[in-house]
Structure 1
Amino acid sequence: MIVGIDLGTTNSLISVWENGAARLIPNSLGEVLTPSCISIDEDGSILVGRAARERLQTHPDRSAAAFKRHMGSDKQITLGKRAFRAEELSALILRALKEDAEAALGQPVTEAIITVPAYFSDAQRKATRAAGQLAGLKVERLLNEPTAAALAYGIHLRDSESKFLVFDLGGGTFDVSVLDLFENVMEVRASAGDNFLGGEDFVNSLVDQFFEHNKLDKRYRDNAHFMQRLTAQAEAAKRELSTAPRALILLTEGAHNLSMELDEASFESLCAPLLARLRQPVERALRDANLAGAQLDNIVLAGGATRMPLVRRMVARMFGRFPACDINPDDVVALGAAVQAGLKSKDAALDEVVMTDVSPYSLGVEVSMQYDSGGHSLGHFDPVIERNTVVPVSRVKVYYPVQDQQTILEINVFQGEARMVSDNIKLGTLNVQLPPGTREDKAVNVRFTYDVNGLLQVDVTPLKGGESTLLVIEGNPGMMSQQEIAECLASLSQLKIHPRDRIDMRTLVARGERLYQQLRGSVRDRLSLEITRFEGGLNTQDKRIIDAAARHFLEVLDDVEHQHAGNPFGDADL
């Protein structure tokens, strides 16, 4: 069974192609969105999803979110007494999604199509593949997120011809792709993006403004509990501004009541630098596709952050029309991954659909340039594969050593668009043994092969005899060796994952603890009593008693959250 997975910064989803259609699979809470959050409980068990998200405010030192941004880096994220790589935390999300799918489908899930931002680097893609391996999945393909969104929309348009742009703004990344649809062929013309621009950055702008408005010093930023509570309030305010003209951020810290009110106009002004950054990849993608905005038949939105009215207004202003919102932007990437899974499994309903993709980056080597005077300028970037070349692709170039007496040629591989390699991203180095002779005798073929998963292989072969040398990544912090993957797999297998069939109860407790910390006065005391009563019901291990206690406790939590959402200081009765 092949599934499609949208491994997101904020939320993750799993889907399947079934009976000729894409279908989202709910988790154990009956929700299709699983928050991309991990927490370690006091008993050492791992909580995944909403239960972990509820603990971000109450147990910030034991909980983590938005770790997708650290994929392909050597950053360690500490939860309790244990440090994790982003791949390991992502693997726990993938494992939970896999278990949800197996429970829903009634059969083992071993293969997956996993989506990645189109602008993910080589190291980030390899890290995503490693996360899938750690979760016990064979990753059949890494699919670019805007391409997945286009697949979800393109199925409805198969009998027509159109040019459209996918505007994909998620929690942590931004991608844009320009596509052609004709004769059941979906061709990506160009992709661009920003791996560090997403909904989280709009929330961070509110957080920064809250600090300035209330004249808070660095001590507050160093307080993990305060920062998590403020971030949650800022996220809630951002969402509220999507449906209401004004929003209020209100916090208490010690004896201080802190607040900030803002309207949509002030929020848009605050986020002006972020909106300007959104325009740049759009303009680049259109230039690379040799298209003007007026030549597009449609603009497709993907990613939860596109719900913000200020983003939709910006897109409408750029293109002079309203974007398409036919499919829920939270769901569209996962649905497209299911379509790709159907294509991979050769479903009869999709046998006429063909899809092509492109390389989002230029890939090349470091070279020296000779001055007219005879000297050399070092550190120049020479592309072997230009960005937005259709993949899979293989390109070869001939290179020469600088001097006759060289015995080793060092090939440094980079990705990026800058003229100098110092401004691009180094992917790796390989050293080639050169035969004797003049520099002309020591010429080498450098072949770059880039596949549909966005994975690069570099092959260097001397023209006058000698063995081929494959790229070996050296010192890249984003790469995990097979031995490291095996060690992580063994380590993760020893972790105690909270039982899936009781995660709903643990989520209720975590939600109660979060609300308890937000409240004060008599309402807080009464909520504490209700939490204790609910935990007492859980300890009976009697399903009838537990279910009744859960229903009552859920009603209590809903009532508290409704009555005190805007006033955490009130003393109203439960």
Structure 2
Amino acid sequence: MIIGIDLGTTNSAVGVWRDGKVELIPNSLGAVLTPSAVGLDDDGALLVGLAARERRSTHPTLTATTFKRYMGSTRTTRLGKQDYLPEDLSALVLARLKADAEAYLGQPVTEAVITVPAYFNDKQRKATRRAGELAGLKVERLLNEPTAAALAYGIHELGDETRFLVFDLGGGTFDVSVLEIFEGVIEVRASTGDNQLGGEDFNAVLVQMMREAHGKAWGKAEADFGFRQRLQVAAEKARRTLTDQPVADMTVTWQDESWTLEVTAEAFEAAAAPLLARLREPVLGALRDGSVQAAALKEIVLVGGATRMPIVRRAVTRMFGRFPSNAVHPDEAVVIGAAIQAGLKARDAALKDVVMTDVCPYSLGVDIAETGPGGALRDGIFSPVIERNTVVPASRMSVFSTIQPGQRKVVFNVFQGESRLVADNIRLGRIEIPVPPARAGEIQVEVRFSYDVNGLIEVDVHVPHTGERRQLVIVDDQDGPPPDLEQRRAALAALKVNPRDQDANRAASARAARCYELFLGERRAHVAELISRFETVLDRQDPRAIDAARQELIHGLDALDGETFL
């Protein structure tokens, strides 16, 4: 069985193509969205999802969120006594989604299509693939998120010829893709984006507004990691309130003191103006690279939870001079597309007429040296071989020459990026080939790059004069031997995992603990009473009584805190 997974910065989801349609798979709490949060409970058990996220403000050193933003880096997060890479934490989320799918489908799940931001570079894509493998999944394909959204949107448009733009603003990344549908083909014309722009950055704007209002009164409190986590939680809640309300109260409680800031939609929009301005350039770049005029677009499709913000919708409306489409669910479009792609991989008969192309998101090339006006050599210059937004799979060749007399070898470093200087691009690998000594420029070297739909890069270097050939396959982003995936998988599997059937109780208890620390006075006393009643029933170990008590606790918290958001 093959599934489709949207591995998101804020929330993740899983779906399957079955009986001619997409089925979104609920988690143990009955929700389609699972927060991309990992934590440890007080007894050391691993928590994934809502139960982990609810403990972010009360147990900040035992909780990790937004780790997708650091995918492909060596940044680690310490939970308890162990350090985790972003791909390790992502693997734990993927493993939970895999378990949810197996419980729902009643059969083992071994393969998956996993979505990634279109603007993820090679290191980030390889790390995502490793996360899938660590979770026990064979990753059939890494699918760009806007392309997945295009599948969800375009599946009903396949009979028409149309062009549209997917504007994908999630919790941590921003992608733009221009697509064209014709004769049953969905073709990506161009993709671009910003890997460091998302809902979390808008939260940071609200945190700064709160800091400007109350920073002096906080004193040294802000130096505490737990205090900063509470600021983040308060900002997230205020931002979501502003989605459908003109005013939101942002409240932070710390050591029996409470600070509140009333934030209006107008003030938030003014403070977020620099972020809104950053949305424009990727849109213009995608239209430019795709050779498409904005007026030629049939629809602007909004995807990603952060596009719910009215300030973003207004910015898009101003950008294009018309309202964006609401044809797809912003939180579900990507996982629906991933499930459709899984159906395509499984060769489902209902999808036999769907053909899809994608593009290479970054330019790929090598470092070269060139002769300056005074005859001096300048090295570290980037020479693209496959340019960004080339339709994949693709194979391109460039020819280079030796630069020194008597030169006996040529060394190429492989880079990914758009800067003229390789120092500003991402190094992917190195390849060396011998050449016969000759006059400068006399020996030519052919360099061919091949790039497939999964982002696999092959570099083939050939010296026609001697017939020498060398090949490099970019299989990992690290120099030296690849990491021991089996050993890492075993280490993750050895973690004490919280049983799925306890998720609801642990999530409710974690939320209640957060609310107790958030409120003061009578409301705090009321939360304490709710917690006491719930814990009394838990001790009886009667499943029916526990379910009823949990619902009573949740309703009581909803009345104080508002409904749980995803």
Deviation at residue 353 of structure 1 after TM alignment:
1.1
Q: Does the C-alpha gap of structure 1 residues 34 and 372 become closer, same or farther in structure 2, counting only changes over 3 Å?
A: same
Distance 1:267-1:441 versus aligned 2 partners, 3 A rule: same
> Number of aligned pairs?
562
Q: CA deviation at 1:138?
A: 0.4
Per-residue deviation, residues 442-471 of structure 1 (Å, max 9, x unmatched)? 432211111101232222233213242315
Preserved contact between residue 237 and residue 249 of structure 1 (Cα < 8 Å): yes
2:288 paired residue number: 287
Q: 1:538 to 1:461 in 2, by over 3 A?
A: farther
1:34-85 CA-to-partner distances (Å, cap 9, x unmatched) read 0000001121111000000100011000001000011000001111221100
Letter of the 1:469 counterpart: Q
- 2:74 aligns to what SS in structure 1? coil
What is the Cα deviation at residue 511 of structure 1?
1.0
Deviates more, 1:498-507 or 1:526-535: 526-535
Aligned to 2:10: 10
Could you tell me which residue of structure 2 aligns to residue 342 of structure 1? 343
Q: Distance in 2 between matches of 1:536 and 1:455?
A: 56
Give the structure 1 partner of residue 539 of structure 2. Answer: 539
Aligned partners of 2:437 and 2:94: how far apart in 1? 52
1:453 equivalent in structure 2? 454
Counterpart in 1 of 2:55? 55
> Structure 2 vs 1, CA of residues 322 and 562 (structure 1 numbering), >3 Å: closer, same or farther?
closer
Matched-pair contact (CA < 8 Å) for 2:301–2:328 = no
| Rounded Cα–Cα distance in structure 2 between residues aligned with 1:3 and 1:206 | 37
**Corresponding residue number in structure 2 for 1:106:** 106
After superposition, where does 1:147-226 map in structure 2 within 5 Å? 147-216=147-216, 219-226=220-227
Q: Percent identity?
A: 54
On the 8 A contact 1:432/1:469 being kept in 2, the answer is no
Q: How much has 1:258 moved relative to structure 2? A: 1.9
CA distance in 1, matches of 2:493, 2:443: 50
Q: Could you tell me which residue of structure 1 aligns to residue 472 of structure 2?
A: 470
Deviates more, 1:98-107 or 1:397-406: 397-406
Match of residue 133 from structure 1: 133
Give how far 1:526 is off. Answer: 4.5
What one-letter code is carried by the residue in structure 1 that aligns with 2:415?
F
CA distance in 1, matches of 2:535, 2:440: 77
Q: Secondary structure at the match of 1:94?
A: helix
SS in 2 for 1:378: strand
> Secondary structure, in 3 states, of the residue corresponding to 2:155?
helix
Q: Provide closer, same or farther for how the CA distance between residues 86 and 539 of structure 1 changes in structure 2, counting only shifts above 3 A.
A: same
The letter of the residue matching 1:402 is I
Aligned residue for 1:571? none
* Partner secondary structure for residue 516 of structure 1: helix
1:523-564 C-alpha deviation (Å, 9 max, x unpaired) = 43443343244234333333233333323333333334359x
- The alignment's TM-score, normalised by the length of structure 2, stands at 0.95
Change (3 A) 1:57 1:255: closer
The separation in 1 between residues aligned to 2:117 and 2:562, in whole angstroms, is 36
Q: What SS does the corresponding residue of 1:404 show, helix, strand or coil?
A: coil
Single out whichever of 26-35 and 361-370 deviates more from structure 2: 361-370
| Residues in 1 aligned to 2:321 and 2:156: alpha-carbon distance in whole angstroms | 24
CA distance in 2, matches of 1:109, 1:143: 18
The 2-side partners of 1:189 and 1:213 are apart by 46
Structure 2: distance between partners of 1:88 and 1:304: 24
Secondary structure of 2:468's match? coil
The one-letter amino acid paired with 2:352 is D
What does residue 303 of structure 1 align with? Answer: 304
Moved more, 551-560 or 376-385: 551-560
Task: Trace 1:371-386 onto structure 2 (pairs within 5 A).
Answer: 371-386=372-387
Match of 1:406 in 2: 407
Q: Deviations over 1:190-209 (max 9, x none)?
A: 11100000011001111012
> Which position in structure 2 is the counterpart of 1:143?
143
Report if aligned partners of 2:458, 2:473 keep a CA contact under 8 Å in 1: yes
Q: Secondary structure at the match of 1:528?
A: helix
Worse-superposed segment, 462-471 or 87-96: 462-471
CA distance in 2, matches of 1:339, 1:186: 13
Equivalence for 2:94 = 94
1:558 aligned onto 2:558 = yes
Q: CA 1:513/1:480 → structure 2, altered by over 3 Å: closer, same or farther? A: farther
Contact 2:15 2:339 in 1 (8 A): yes
Residues 433 and 468 in structure 2, CA contact (< 8 A), matched pair in contact too: no
Structure 1 position 402, deviation (Å): 2.0
Deviation, 1:409, is: 2.0
Offset of residue 501 of structure 1: 1.4
Q: In structure 2, what is the Cα distance between the partners aligned to 1:371 and 1:441?
A: 19
Query: For 1:113, what is the secondary structure of its paired residue?
Result: strand
The CA distance in 2 between the partners of 1:546 and 1:302, in whole Å, is 38
State whether residues 360 and 388 of structure 1, in contact with CA within 8 Å, keep that contact through their aligned partners in structure 2: yes
Aligned to 1:265: 266
**Conservation of the 8 A alpha-carbon contact between 2:403 and 2:441:** no
Q: Please, which runs of 5 or more residues in structure 2 have no aligned partner?
A: none
C-alpha spacing 1:6/1:218, structure 2 compared with 1 (3 Å): farther
CA RMSD of aligned residues (A): 2.0
The residue aligned with 2:520 is 520
User: Which has the higher mean CA deviation after the structures are superposed, 453-462 or 237-246?
Assistant: 453-462
Per-residue deviation, 1:255: 5.8
- Shift of residue 323, structure 1, vs aligned partner: 0.7
2:419 equivalent to 1:422: no
Structure 1 counterpart of 2:390: 389
Structure 1 residue 168: Cα displacement: 0.4
Contact 1:363–1:383 (CA under 8 A) maintained in structure 2: yes
TM-score by length of 1: 0.94
Distance in 2, Cα, partners of 1:289 & 1:472:
27
Q: Out of 528-537 and 49-58, give the one that drifted further.
A: 528-537
Quote the residue 1:569 is aligned against.
none
Q: Does structure 1 retain, via aligned residues, the 8 Å contact 2:253–2:517?
A: no
Aligned to 2:244: 243
- Cα 1:319–1:483 change in 2 (3 A) is closer
Q: For residue 331 of structure 1, what is the aligned residue in structure 2?
A: 332
What amino acid maps onto 1:460 in structure 2? V
**TM-superposition CA deviations, 1:386-426 (whole Å, max 9, x none):** 11100000111122232233333221111111222122222
Superposed CA offset, 1:158-216 (max 9, x none): 11110100000000000000011000011111111000000110011110121112234
Of residues 521-530 and 111-120 in structure 1, the stretch that sits farther from structure 2 once superposed is: 521-530
SS in 2 for 1:215: helix
- Deviation at residue 434 of structure 1 after TM alignment: 3.2
| Cα 1:352–1:218 shift into 2, 3 Å | farther
The question of whether the paired residues in 2 share the 8 Å contact of 1:399 and 1:444 is answered with yes
| 1: CA distance, partners of 2:364 / 2:381 | 13
Q: CA deviation at 1:380?
A: 1.1
Corresponding position of 1:66: 66
